[in-house]
Chains A and B, each alone.
Chain A
């Protein structure tokens, strides 16, 4: 059984949900700190805070999906860390999703590592 397509799909879903929430929260933060008084204590609306908290928990799900995929693909440590950090940088997770898909498509079917491991 090849687990990579499922892991890739799970990663794509989390990369997009986390990415959209992070992008909205970041643009909102930029606007709030530049033009409104978000720098002051109690200056932020509730929804704004909830969005950032949501990003924290979504990022946790993103981590699980990303680690799972990185393990299946036998990623070295720094590549894995880069993949994990992509969920914390605005818009980086969309790029990570694109790169991961391109990478998996480029693999010859017989070289998919998890296939090799499961047909021992």
Chain B
């Protein structure tokens, strides 16, 4: 009884009140750090789940694109817009030969447009574009805006970015772009399909993110434990 009233009086000292405020700050901070790692874990798992699902129509993808849709299999029915095509140089073929990637606007039957990577051709090489309706399937990618180092003085397009392409072609585009993996019907002059740059299907379980989430929360509890020990230790000293 004496000890508990002593503890209470010690908890009311200015130093102790400051310590409680710091403790609350630490707990809130650690909670959110843990939650951030937890959300990363969930995003990676969601993306993996989505990538293993059967292809969904690209029109069904939420706009603006969410990270859980990165790497997702999508399909589209419509046609390539012949005049809205661009070559992106210094890109690799499946056999690692440097050449051009052909990026085109693709118009869905609904009228919406999306950027697609049709595939690879040798540097400056020719290719054909079907005029009739085709069905394509591919992997959804976020815009490559992280590559943007502003080195396109010549007006040359170096990154695949839906925003930039939308300005270039003066047309509305859906977020991100599709790297085509199959096309029906396929004409003989079509560019060679390239493997997707990102793959979310076969990634390992995000162990690090998962455990970091738990560790942050354990550290928050530990901070509370230290505070209590500090109070008890101090009151024992006075006794």
| A residues at B contact (CB < 8 Å) | 41-42, 44, 46, 49-50, 52-53, 56-57, 60, 63-64, 67, 71, 117, 120
Chain B stretch 70-116: residues in CB contact (< 8 A) with chain A:
none
* 23 sample A-B contacts, Cβ–Cβ < 8 Å, listed by A number: A41-B198, A41-B203, A42-B199, A42-B202, A42-B203, A42-B204, A44-B208, A46-B204, A49-B207, A50-B207, A52-B208, A53-B207, A53-B208, A53-B212, A56-B211, A57-B215, A60-B218, A63-B222, A67-B226, A71-B229, A71-B230, A117-B236, A117-B237
On chain B, the residues within 8 Å of A53 by CB distance are: 207-208, 211-212, 215
Question: Are B219 and A60 in touch, CB under 8 angstroms?
Answer: yes
Chain B stretch 202-239: residues in CB contact (< 8 A) with chain A:
202-204, 207-208, 211-212, 215, 218-219, 222, 226, 229-230, 233, 236-237, 239
**How far is A99 from B230 in the complex, measured between Cα atoms in Å?**
23
Chain B residue total in the interface (Cβ 8 A): 22
**How far is A67 from B233 in the complex, measured between Cα atoms in Å?**
12
| B residues at A contact (CB < 8 Å) | 44, 198-200, 202-204, 207-208, 211-212, 215, 218-219, 222, 226, 229-230, 233, 236-237, 239
By secondary structure, the A interface counts as: helix
Among all A-B residue pairs, the 5 with the closest Cβ atoms: A42-B203, A56-B215, A53-B211, A49-B208, A49-B207
On chain A, the residues within 8 Å of B239 by CB distance are: 120
Question: Are A71 and B211 in touch, CB under 8 angstroms?
Answer: no
**A53: nearest chain-B partner, CB-CB:** B211
**How far is A60 from B237 in the complex, measured between Cα atoms in Å?**
26
Q: A42-B203, A53-B215, A60-B215 are in contact. List 8 more A-B contacts (CB 8 A).
A: A41-B44, A44-B208, A50-B207, A53-B208, A60-B218, A60-B219, A63-B222, A120-B239
**How far is A71 from B225 in the complex, measured between Cα atoms in Å?**
13
**A81: nearest chain-B partner, CB-CB:** B22
